[in-house]
Structure 1
Amino acid sequence: MNSFDITASAGDAQSPALIADDSPLLWSALAAASNPRVCVIADNAGRELLPDLVLVDHLLTSGPAAEAVLYVKPSPYYVSDATTTDVLATVDRLRVAPGQEAGRIGRRLWQAMNGGTLMVRTHEFFCAPLPFHDMPADLRAELSGATMTISKGDLNYRRLVGDQLWDATTPFAERVRHFPSPVAALRTLKSDVVVGLDAPVVAGLDTTGEPWRTSGKYGLIQAYAGT
């Protein structure tokens, strides 16, 4: 895990400052696999779904994924939650966007959906008030075939590691070994739940006196590639 300079990063208002970055582990796990299959568990629609789709496009074109599965909710658990309708509408909007690159991404995603390399799926469990530890057998079987599952957003993070006030230095791997595939979390901190941080990072953040766990100013990329 990379070290983190509080003073250098805390003032960046453009994007959350990373306080944990396991992206090398994420990319190396995908690079080591033959025909990797990546599952992405989305969170919100709108401007959050856009970068999720750009990530999926990157994984399928410039990145190592041979197949991607985007999981969304069957209906909004919260008003902003992404559904299949949101995905289709967003891709369709990208296809006709005035920017050339946006249009190319939209057309590639559309082709991937029609060609079977991108699948959009849902499951009623994503609207259940339960941690991922308690996911049903059919969904567990689906995800078990993934080279890597990427969990997006704050709520999915809490469902992944367990929605309790863990010691922030608790190893990420310790909290996610239950997951049926190797897993990565991409998240902006908006709640008190966090694990997998280095002790000096936690100490530095605590000395700022700010509510760093809930301010939305900090983000993390954490990954567990399995044993």
Structure 2
Amino acid sequence: IPPISDYDYFNEAKTQSYFESQQAVMTLCTYVEGVNKNMEKLSKNQLFEHFIKLLQVSLWGNKCDLSISAGQENSQKISPIDSLNSLQPFILVNDSNMVWSTLLAAQKPGQPGRVDVVLDNAGFELVTDLVLADFLVSSGLAREVHFHGKCFPWFVSDVTASDFKWTIQQTMAANHKWMSKSGAQWQRYLKQGVWSYHDHPFWTQPHEFCDMAADAPDLYATLQGADLVLFKGDLNYRKLTGDRDWDHTVGFDTALRGFGPAPLCSLRTLKANVQVGLQPGQGEKLASQDPDWMTSGKYAVIQFYSPKSEQ
């Protein structure tokens, strides 16, 4: 019998989510291949448009969450690129422009910045994160990408080190030209140290993130080395905001309660009763139109905060 310490109870569901989203994964890898091929010719505006698209693909990839579907089939069947326009109205806060300008500001002469991604779900969502990270590196918007996952299978579909490795290997072994090409590229990034995967016990502890500097100063210091930190998903949002019953109009910066190792952005589809940074009346209007707006996964935010802007 293999050691139980390596056993992932959720593995089958994660694997299924990946394989059932094959069509969408092929579409994404084909899209990225097309962008990479023409990278030299892209104007800054075109680069910005591709960035916005892939940021939103990574955002909506968070819909594919096994905890919200109670293990029901939840794969991505339609083209993630084609569905972006129809999803646009459901983004309640969209700070994409600030994320973009942060990446541009991090460009030292001949040396782009470092982006950290605090991961959420394995399966299709992880692929959307890898595709975004691929674009950031190939476009020169980032020099390196550090991924942060969980030490052990914690909350249904959370990414662990073995999910991360497995997803890249599966993509590499796919019987599809652009998928296998993407997978091979991701493997190279890891070999070259352009990409790296890290886990830390803090991510599976009950602390909110404003306690990180005190409870996990080494992790906080690691994140301080990033020029931008992307936090994926609902649980990370709850820990960013301390899962408190904030008024919807309270600023994201206030709800972070001093947490700010680096400029950060939450890419989150709403699945829990906490949401800050809305316009006056926005929450009330949503509640009257759609009582489940905070928990259905139908709405999303791209919320940005930078400690630098307060200096």
Q: Is the 8 A contact 2:260 2:306 kept in 1?
A: no
Distance 1:22 1:209 in 2: 23
Higher helix share: 2
Q: Summarize deviations over 1:2-33 as a string: whole Å, max 9, x none.
A: xxxxxxxxxx8975821111011001101111
Which position in structure 1 is the counterpart of 2:11? none
Matches within 5 A, 1:92-131: 92-131=169-208
1:167 aligns with 2:247: yes
Q: Summarize deviations over 1:143-162 as a string: whole Å, max 9, x none.
A: 01110100001001100111
1:25 aligns with 2:106: no
SS in structure 2 of the partner of residue 48 of structure 1: helix
Report the structure number with the largest CA radius of gyration: 2
Which position in structure 1 is the counterpart of 2:224? 144
Which position in structure 2 is the counterpart of 1:61? 138
Q: Summarize deviations over 1:90-137 as a string: whole Å, max 9, x none.
A: 011111223333223212111110001101000011110111111211
**Deviation at residue 203 of structure 1 after TM alignment:** 3.2
Residue range with higher mean Cα deviation, 91-100 or 13-22: 13-22
1:90 aligns with 2:167: yes
Count of matched residue pairs = 216
TM-score w.r.t. the length of structure 1 is 0.89
Which position in structure 1 is the counterpart of 2:270? 189
Higher strand share: 1
SS in structure 2 of the partner of residue 68 of structure 1: strand
Quickly say closer, same or farther: Cα 1:63–1:196, change in 2 above 3 A.
Answer: farther
Q: Counterpart amino acid of 1:125?
A: F
Structure 1: segments with no counterpart, 5+ residues: 1-11
Which position in structure 1 is the counterpart of 2:306? 225
Q: Is the 8 A contact 1:44 1:82 kept in 2?
A: yes
| Aligned residue among 194, 198, 216 for 2:279 | 198
Structure 2: segments with no counterpart, 5+ residues: 1-82
Matches within 5 A, 1:4-19: 17-19=90-92
